Homo-oligomer: A and B are copies of this chain.
Amino acid sequence: MAKDKKFVEDITPMGEDFAQWYTDVVKKAELMRYSSVKGCMMILPAGYAIWENIQKNLDAMFKKTGVENVYMPMFIPESLLDKEKDHVEGFAPECAWVTQGGLEKLEERLVVRPTSETLFCDLYSNIVQSYRDLPKVYNQWCSVVRWEKTTRPFLRSSEFLWQEGHTAHATAEEAQERTIQMLNVYYEFCKDYLAIPLIKGQKTDKEKFAGAEATYTIEALMHDGKALQSGTSHNFGDGFAKAFGIQFTDKDNKLSYVHQTSWGLSTRTIGAIIMVHGDDSGLVLPPRIAPVQVMVIPVAQHKEGVLEKAAEITDMLAKAGLAVKMDDSDKSPGWKFSEQEIRGIPVRIEIGPKDIEAGKAVVVRRDTREKIEVALDELAARVPEILETMQNDMYERAKKHLEEHTYSAKDYDEFKDIIENKPGFVKAMWCGDLDCELKIKEDTTATSRCIPFEQEQISDKCVCCGKPAKSMVYWGKAY
């Protein structure tokens, strides 16, 4: 098997070829590799550590809202998948099928879970009897499989990691509340930890989840002006409950169907981090999600006292609660700097003989390249502040980018012109008809991203057909 060359080449500039830039960054930051199985990723330590931090922080937010984690089987019998008509139609074409177990052909084919609504419904139909058993607010962290023809690292792959929450409630109101509550959790998580601003809204019927009554989404804008659906929350009403017979005795001793929700966020989010914050030197990780926040890099480390001082700083910052590492390998400082930059480590601390003599170190921000001289005895206090400032600046910068790349279109010519020439979101009115949605997609390749909660009255006519408008929609090309 051919050995890979070490990546010493430059990263393709973003402005030259965004797709190639993305692939270069993913590869050179050593986040993942493709495996021998078509379309399946191997997530390497630098990539998986980001996912671990996402899991840890998002899971803590879930648990504050009463979520309990479980683990469901990865296989779904075909007959179980078949129970809800829309759902099976949506997923069957992209399922992986197990047909043989051990040495025997299976009597019934099994689907490797593309999502687990049917399993949770099967469980709930067995364990929910009374209103006292409600709500059930379960979640699982797992991998799912959707047989994709074309794949891109983190954005689209045949297997990916995610969490899927599945809840059952006594009333429609409570289910709707939970649907929006979890959308808000995603929104806050992306804002606070990933420094990613989002548009919150509802999906059109065409774009909603197979089997859902309503799907809500958070949509992010990538650096190239394309949208990325970053998390979804679905209200199922009692559709699945009726298909699976999930009934309970309510307080008046009457038999009712439960109302259900589901919500998921996946390793796609890592793609969003890369494409929202990355630059021509590589990855830029928001400090609050970075597995390594600070890299201490000794300069002229062969000189007396340098390595000792670098180690001392590393220890001190670790004690201050930061995720810090020291690079004392035998590479040159310049090489170490560029590795730290490619990997998106938020700040590096340069410390050499002259710095030690002057009682200071140089802190370099990854996002702005700003060099900040900090007295050695102030590092433990200042570095966390610098990281916090960087986190906030990254969010503000991304927000500005989102705002500057969000346009309004009153008529179809303007709409088409924007889609063709100005990458970003287009706000435009819509009559609510599928035909207009399909026509817009055919004419421009743009899709409806969401009907945002914050509505504006751009005009009173549908941007496509000119009939009376029902709502304002965010449109855009999407990953």
Q: Which of B1, B97, B126 contacts A125 (CB 8 A)?
A: B1
CB distance from A61 to the nearest CB of B (A): 16
A98 at the interface (CB under 8 A from B): yes
- For window 374-429 of A, CB contacts with B under 8 Å fall at none
B contact residues around A110 at 8 Å (CB): 37, 96
A228-254 CB mask vs B (1 if < 8 Å, else 0) is: 000000000000000011000000000
Cα–Cα distance between A95 and B420 once the two chains are bound (Å) = 51
A134 at the interface (CB under 8 A from B): no
Nearest B residue to A132, CB-CB: B329
- For window 10-45 of A, CB contacts with B under 8 Å fall at 33, 35-37, 40-45
CB distance from A343 to the nearest CB of B (A): 14
Q: Are A69 and B52 neighbours in the complex by a CB distance under 8 Å?
A: yes
Nearest B residue to A68, CB-CB: B45
CB distance from A269 to the nearest CB of B (A): 14
A356 at the interface (CB under 8 A from B): no
Binds B, one of A99-107, A182-190, A438-446, A470-478: A99-107
Cα–Cα distance between A101 and B96 once the two chains are bound (Å) = 4
Counting every copy of the chain, the complex holds 2
A3 at the interface (CB under 8 A from B): yes
B contact residues around A149 at 8 Å (CB): 102
CB distance from A165 to the nearest CB of B (A): 13
A147 at the interface (CB under 8 A from B): yes
A68-82 CB mask vs B (1 if < 8 Å, else 0) is: 111111111100100
Q: Which of B48, B77, B103 contacts A70 (CB 8 A)?
A: B48
CB distance from A34 to the nearest CB of B (A): 9
A115 at the interface (CB under 8 A from B): no
A276 at the interface (CB under 8 A from B): no
Cα–Cα distance between A110 and B38 once the two chains are bound (Å) = 11
A192 at the interface (CB under 8 A from B): no
Cα–Cα distance between A3 and B129 once the two chains are bound (Å) = 7
A119 at the interface (CB under 8 A from B): yes
A115-140 CB mask vs B (1 if < 8 Å, else 0) is: 00001001101110100000000100
Residue of A41, A70, A119 most packed against chain B (CB within 10 A):
A70
Q: Are A45 and B138 neighbours in the complex by a CB distance under 8 Å?
A: yes
Q: Are B3 and A77 neighbours in the complex by a CB distance under 8 Å?
A: no
Cα–Cα distance between A112 and B111 once the two chains are bound (Å) = 12
Q: What are the 10 tightest A-B residue pairs by CB atom distance, in nearest-first order?
A: A40-B73, A45-B68, A102-B147, A97-B100, A43-B71, A101-B147, A37-B75, A99-B99, A35-B73, A37-B73
A-B contact pairs, 6 of them (CB 8 A): A33-B126, A37-B75, A40-B75, A45-B68, A71-B161, A97-B99
A→B interface (CB under 8 Å): 1, 3-4, 6, 33, 35-37, 40-45, 48-49, 51-52, 68-77, 80, 93-103, 110, 112, 119, 122-123, 125-127, 129, 138, 142-143, 145, 147, 149, 158-159, 161, 244-245
